[in-house]
Structure 1
Amino acid sequence: MKPKVFVTRKIPENVLNKMKSVCEVQIWEKEDIPVPRDVLEQQINKVEGIFCLLTDKIDEDLLQRAEKLKVISNMAVGYNNIDVAAATRRGIMVTNTPGVLTETTADLTFALLMATARRLVEASDYLKQGKWRTWSPMLLTGQDIFGATIGIIGMGRIGEAVAKRARGFSMKVLYYNRSRKPNVEEKLGATYVDLQSLLKESDYVCLLTPYTPETHHMIGKEELSLMKKTAILINTSRGGVVDEKALYEALKNGTIWAAGLDVFEQEPIPVDHPLLSLPNVVALPHIGSASLKTRMKMAELTAENMLQALAGKVPKYLVNTELIRA
């Protein structure tokens, strides 16, 4: 009998067909809304595998209903949507998709930095709204990027990829990480500094750290007050890393110059959220890995992780590796 699998969103047809060849697959067909909680509750006690997204909250209460579940295959690098400890206690494998989205997310991070610095969204809207009358010396002036100082918080794969791009713009690269990375310092000329020094010295502060209890609101009122008045904050990690109320006040009051945000504490962010009312905010709908090629790779890897686990093998990207050490 084929193992039963639930997929929480429509995925590429070729990936779905690969799973259907060995599994009995149920899928949430609606692309525009996440799978409702009651549907997850109904499905999770029927299936051996769940193919989910970062928008799907897989918590302990839900896992208590998972009588047959063997694997939670998350189509994301991060997995803060999953109670990994609760899954581990029940012997359920949790997998993710690191590596495949590194360069694409780094591209988006740097694109967001440039768009925010040079006020590209403002400028495009200005033109489309018929406001452009003549060339003016100070019209829509932004911040320089070439030769500026970038501070990267979280020097993982994506952090390193962003640092490579920054070097191409002759930027001075500072970084703060849980541990020093001498190989990165040697290879990219990056300088390790403490968090306060990074915030004080950087023209651009890029958040690329995982979201954990330790990094929750790591950028708040105090941290923002340390930044230059001309500084720009870029967040392509997770929304919870930033205290959004403090950020709104800092942007409104001129404590910092601007922010480029791809992630938010609540997603989708409400359209009446105060941050979206500010002209010095460039806001994107969490599209860090949104290239056709990368999203296809992510779906394929998520399916591979799932099928390996259901076949009794150790998935390539197992999060709770303590299960295989037990």
Structure 2
Amino acid sequence: MSKPILVTTTRFLDPVEARIDQQYEARRNHKDTPFNHDELLAVAEGSDAMLITPSDRLDSDFFKHVSSSVKVIATHSVGYEHIDLHAASERKIAIANTQGANSNATADITLLLLLAASRRAYEAQELLRSGGWKPWSFSHLIGWELTGKVLGIVGMGHVGQAVAFRARSFGMKIHYFDQAPLSEDVVGDAVYHEKPEDLLRISQFLSLNAPETADTRHFINAKTIELLPPGVIIVNTARGGLVVDEDLIAALKSGRVAAAGLDVFEGEPNLHPGYVGLKNTFLLPHIGGATVEAVTAMGMQALDNIDAVLAGRTAPSLVNI
């Protein structure tokens, strides 16, 4: 009996590749760059499923022309803004993500950014490596402690909850905004705010953990920054599109925002040049989910979704109707 045909657009970790070889006839991308629009359509012709990444942009035109044989597309990511869900639904193609698989890894990076930004880690590293370390003084690289501070979390999903769990061990007070309050057995003593403006006003530290949607795009801008306490520290491990770069950079330069820790950027891998010269930023190249455990789990979850649809079941992490 022939195996289903699966298109993969990049190489995954060995355990995931081994499962692909065992269960599927794989059509792989052997280039160092993503397939372009026409290449994606060509390689999908006659296939049963596709395993893609956020580098693959599946717009309405793609779904207008993609082979009718394709039944399911799984993205190796939590976010799915690179896929036109409406167009996929019109073609009756199931779209699934890897929700929750990298939550712990991303939460770890969020705490790294909180600590690195608050303790001026970039400045300290630069000083040490450049040979500029001088005799100690009371004002030497003075930062801010997490203990006793209010951490505002925008988006209390899997990652937000994992961040809250970790931040409590540093003695932080957890407040959050989401579309609706969560049960106490999920969020414990975290304080819910119905309006994001109310959360911003009391957040000494702010963690962005929400998906990028029409409502959250450019959530951090000149207006919302003014609602935050002076000297706030902002971290973002969600999506770069949640931030207006020019406004955050201006606030960092003026000291209105004391520091920032950023793992994601709008238009990445391109970085707004205004961040580069700022000493009060700690920057990472979108490595929130980059652990062996998380990346393997994401690949396996993506294949679970594909397996389910091809077997006539609903994908466990279905994101469209």
- Residue 254 (structure 2) aligns with: 253
Match status 1:85 vs 2:86: yes
- Residue 202 (structure 1) aligns with: 203
Post-superposition CA distance 1:60-109 (Å, at most 9, x none): 11112212211110111111111111101100010111122121111111
Which whole-Å CA distance do the structure 2 matches of 1:11 and 1:103 have between them? 20
> Where does 1:37-186 land on structure 2 (aligned, <5 Å)?
37-67=37-67, 68-183=69-184
Is the CA contact (8 Å cut-off) linking 1:45 and 1:65 kept in structure 2? no
Rate the CA distance shift 1:276–1:38 in 2: closer, same or farther, 3 A: farther
Which whole-Å CA distance do the structure 2 matches of 1:150 and 1:14 have between them? 37
- Residue 306 (structure 1) aligns with: 306
Post-superposition CA distance 1:227-286 (Å, at most 9, x none): 12210111111111111121111112222111111111111024x621222111111111
* Structure 1 length-normalised TM: 0.92
Which whole-Å CA distance do the structure 2 matches of 1:141 and 1:34 have between them? 44
Post-superposition CA distance 1:176-221 (Å, at most 9, x none): 1111124258x52111123222212111111111111111112211
Secondary structure of 1:26's match?
strand
- Residue 221 (structure 2) aligns with: 220
Is the CA contact (8 Å cut-off) linking 2:13 and 2:295 kept in structure 1? no
Is the CA contact (8 Å cut-off) linking 1:155 and 1:209 kept in structure 2? yes
- TM-fit CA distance, 1:117: 0.6
Which whole-Å CA distance do the structure 1 matches of 2:316 and 2:72 have between them? 13
- Residue 315 (structure 2) aligns with: 315
Is the CA contact (8 Å cut-off) linking 1:184 and 1:190 kept in structure 2? no
Which whole-Å CA distance do the structure 2 matches of 1:34 and 1:119 have between them? 37
- TM-fit CA distance, 1:34: 3.2
- TM-fit CA distance, 1:305: 1.4
- TM-fit CA distance, 1:30: 4.0
- TM-fit CA distance, 1:115: 0.8
Give the letter for the 1:163 counterpart.
Answer: A
Post-superposition CA distance 1:100-138 (Å, at most 9, x none): 212111111111111111011221121011111322221
Secondary structure of 2:235's match?
strand
- TM-fit CA distance, 1:37: 3.4
Which whole-Å CA distance do the structure 2 matches of 1:317 and 1:2 have between them? 23
Give the letter for the 2:116 counterpart.
Answer: A
Question: Percent sequence identity over matched residues?
Answer: 35
- TM-fit CA distance, 1:46: 4.0
Rate the CA distance shift 1:37–1:134 in 2: closer, same or farther, 3 A: farther
Which whole-Å CA distance do the structure 2 matches of 1:119 and 1:34 have between them? 37
How many pairs were matched up? 318
Post-superposition CA distance 1:268-318 (Å, at most 9, x none): 024x62122211111111111111111111111112212222233322211
Which whole-Å CA distance do the structure 2 matches of 1:4 and 1:65 have between them? 18
Rate the CA distance shift 1:309–1:151 in 2: closer, same or farther, 3 A: same
- Residue 290 (structure 1) aligns with: 290
Is the CA contact (8 Å cut-off) linking 1:46 and 1:66 kept in structure 2? no
Is the CA contact (8 Å cut-off) linking 2:122 and 2:279 kept in structure 1? no
Q: Which moved more, 1:306-315 or 1:74-83?
A: 306-315
- Residue 189 (structure 1) aligns with: 189
Runs ≥4 residues deviating over 3 A: 33-38
Q: Which moved more, 1:38-47 or 1:167-176?
A: 38-47
Give the letter for the 1:169 counterpart.
Answer: F
Secondary structure of 2:65's match?
coil
Give the letter for the 2:86 counterpart.
Answer: A
Is the CA contact (8 Å cut-off) linking 2:236 and 2:261 kept in structure 1? yes
5+ long unaligned stretches in structure 1: none
Which whole-Å CA distance do the structure 2 matches of 1:225 and 1:213 have between them? 21
* Structure 2 length-normalised TM: 0.93
Which whole-Å CA distance do the structure 2 matches of 1:281 and 1:86 have between them? 39
CA RMSD of aligned residues (A): 1.7
Secondary structure of 1:25's match?
strand
Q: Which moved more, 1:303-312 or 1:98-107?
A: 303-312
